[in-house]
Chain A
Amino acid sequence: QSVLTQPPSASGTPGQRVAISCSGNSSNIGSKTVNWYQQLPGTAPKLLIYSNSYRPSGVPDRFSASKSGTSASLAISGLQSEDEADYFCSAWDDSLNGVVFGGGTKVTVL
């Protein structure tokens, strides 16, 4: 059972918008910044979003994220076949004194 809760799966057709939620509590998302990672099959994770909503250089602006209270959300606009991957959220947790991850959401492009 992960500290941060994500839906196990999400899907959409090419061009659609897909949103992934990440739910936590006041010890993590409620008081700390959220990061998002993309993991393509068989590869290492890649930082997609940091500090709630910022994209590292090279990440397409089709990816956006936001945070409100104890929840965060990642959105993929204009879904493409290459976006088929697992997506993980993470945050520092003051109660656990460590980094916590969500269980991951597998995005399928139909």
Chain B
Amino acid sequence: EVQLLESGGGSAQPGGSLRLSCTASGFIFSDYGMSWVRQAPGKGLEWVSSISFNDGPTYYAASVKGRFTISRDGSKNTLFLQMNSLRAEDTALYYCAKEYFTAIPGYKPDAFHMWGQGTMVTVSS
């Protein structure tokens, strides 16, 4: 059974940092691209960032580019999101998600098949 377990959320002040983790199990982690998607309270889904299966290409939403960094550790089956220079508008439930398709060269994020339960990030002074 595929499981994605996010952690690392919490409260931070504007300008602060947090590091989110997503521990994966039940599938071959290195075969799939992984992503972070967030949802502000009462709002819709917003894609944040994605990383290729082979720790290759990374992609970022314009709203987080230059502030957030996505990475993965295949030895620990873990996905990370380093969040710096946090802003109030980053307040959201952050989900990690696994791609539907096994990755191919030229990977671009596509269908998010399996999702974790999310970890809440609150940015407030």
B19 at interface, CB cutoff 8 A? no
Q: Judging by beta carbons under 8 Å apart, are B45 and A44 in contact?
A: no
* Residue interface bits A42-59, CB-to-B below 8 A is 1, else 0: 001111001100001000
A33 to B117, CA, bound (A): 26
A101 to B47, CA, bound (A): 7
**Selected interface stretch from A15-23, A63-71, A89-97:** A89-97
Q: Judging by beta carbons under 8 Å apart, are A45 and B115 in contact?
A: yes
Q: How many residues on the A side are at the interface (Cβ–Cβ under 8 A)?
A: 25
A33 to B101, CA, bound (A): 13
Q: Judging by beta carbons under 8 Å apart, are A101 and B45 in contact?
A: yes
A33 to B100, CA, bound (A): 13
A62 to B21, CA, bound (A): 36
B71 at interface, CB cutoff 8 A? no
**Selected interface stretch from B9-17, B24-32, B84-92, B103-111:** B103-111
**Residues of B in contact with A, size category:** 20 to 34
User: Dominant SS at the B interface?
Assistant: strand
B113 at interface, CB cutoff 8 A? yes
Chain A residues whose CB sits within 8 angstroms of the CB of B117 once the complex forms: 44
Chain B residues whose CB sits within 8 angstroms of the CB of A35 once the complex forms: 110-112
Q: Judging by beta carbons under 8 Å apart, are A104 and B110 in contact?
A: no
A98 CB contact (under 8 Å) in B44, B60, B95, B113: B60
Which residues of A are at the interface with B, using a C-beta cutoff of 8 A?
2, 33, 35, 37, 39, 44-47, 50-51, 56, 86, 88, 90, 92, 96-104
